[in-house]
Amino acid sequence: MKNYYDILGVSKDTNPDELKKAYRNLSKEHHPDRGGDENKFKEVSEAYSVLSDPNKKSQYDTRGNNPFRGGGNPFEGMGGGDPFEMFREFFEGKAQARPQQREARGTDINMKVQVTLEEVFFGYKKKVTYNRQLNCNTCRGRGGERERCNYCGGKGIIEQVQGNSFFRQIVHQPCPHCQGEGSRLIIKCKGCEGKKHNLHEETIEFAVPKGIEEGQFFRFVKKGNETPGGGAGNLLVAFEVIPHNKFFKNGLDMVTEVNLNPVELLLGKKILVNHFEGDIKVDIPPLVKPGKSLKADKKGFYAVTGEKGDLYINVNLIMPTQLTGEEVTILESLKHCENFRYKD
């Protein structure tokens, strides 16, 4: 009696991957084309055919070494078939299903829209005009009159065998005669001159929320280019913030700068900041140090969630380029004052 486990050199609890590996090695070793024993090759194929099939394996394990009593080919009625064909399917991959293809989709359209810092602060409505490819209405995206491609039989793909007689792989490639379409153009459509599509100008309007960040984008589904026999791509609108002459954005915070001379730094100063929401009065205290940042609460940018940042005012020191005689005299007199003396 044949023991299929002994033939393949595996145990009853061997997993499918180990079983497949054992069959692969033994079938190559005993294949007649490689000088092996044909009878041994058939035994290996018979054993793998039974043990790789859950139903056959269950019967074999339940009823012993001869589950198909009564003689004859144990593959009859059990889907075993020709061991040489099984070998070719195993190594060439014919038995594997072709991977499912995703539905064709047109290309996306990428746009960059410039926005001002004030628009980022308040939010705004924007209109964008662009061109997109739409399938020709005259030929419905076929390009004109077409005929079946004889080279690929209308499939749009051809099979190419790669490898040698023992290790072969079938590769599917687009047909070079019809570019994978399965048909060839014989009469061009007058509506699109055979291009299958025409350019259309479209305008889309949308509301941009407060606090949009540079680099963020909106996706408008199916507002991109169409493709024959499939869906449309998307329109992607990215935002680029135009630099402002007074303010810049740091997260949710708004930052600006004020330039003061030495006297203003010493004595302090009241200033007006021309904010987007109106003038803000700021008291700069006496003896403020250059580089100091003063904060105005809740005067920054809005977040999409409604949170609001702060306004930071950076104080800079601007030195005079020259001094008058009177100014020199005043400064000289200060050198002897208590608070202007250098102390170790």
Q: What would the pLDDT profile of 37-88 be if each residue is shown by its tens digit? A: 878 888 888 888 888 888 788 777 776 555 444 444 444 434 345 565 555 5
CA dihedral of 113, 119, 121, 125, whole degrees rounded to 10: -90
Poorest-pLDDT segment among 63-72, 119-128, 236-245: 63-72
Is the pLDDT at 136 greater than 90? The verdict is yes
- % of the chain residues with pLDDT over 90: 44
Q: Report d(CA 206, CA 74) in Å as an integer.
A: 70
Q: Please indicate, yes or no, if residue 340 is contained in any of the structural domains.
A: no
15's CB contacts (< 8 A; 6+ apart) are none
Is the pLDDT at 265 greater than 70? The verdict is yes
pLDDT at 344: 60
Q: Same domain for 61 and 178? A: no
Q: Dig out the tokens for 272 from the structure.
A: 């007006």
Q: Please indicate, yes or no, if residue 307 is contained in any of the structural domains.
A: yes
pLDDT at 92: 42
pLDDT at 102: 53
**Phi/psi of residue 146, nearest 5 degrees:** -130, 155
Q: Same domain for 85 and 213? A: no
Q: Are 47 and 9 in contact (CB under 8 A)?
A: no
Q: Same domain for 83 and 180? A: no
Q: Please indicate, yes or no, if residue 344 is contained in any of the structural domains.
A: no
pTM of the model: 0.58
CB atoms within 10 A of CB 285: 10
Q: Are 28 and 34 in contact (CB under 8 A)?
A: yes
pLDDT at 167: 67
Q: Please indicate, yes or no, if residue 268 is contained in any of the structural domains.
A: yes
Number of separate domains in the chain: 4
For 173-233, the DSSP string reads EE-TTTTTSSEEEEEE-TTTTTSSEEEEEEEEEEEEPTTPPTT-EEEETT-S-B-TTSBB-
Q: Same domain for 126 and 167? A: no
Sequence letter at residue 114: Q
Q: Dig out the tokens for 324 from the structure.
A: 């008058």
Q: Same domain for 73 and 152? A: no
When pLDDT is averaged across residues 269-285 and rounded to a whole number, the result is 94
Q: Same domain for 21 and 73? A: yes
Range of the domain at 152: 144-188
Confidence of residue 32 (pLDDT cuts 50, 70, 90): low
pLDDT at 96: 40
Q: Please indicate, yes or no, if residue 321 is contained in any of the structural domains.
A: yes
Q: Same domain for 209 and 130? A: yes
Measured N-to-C along each axis, helices 54-63 and 38-51 cross at an angle, to the nearest 10 degrees, of 100
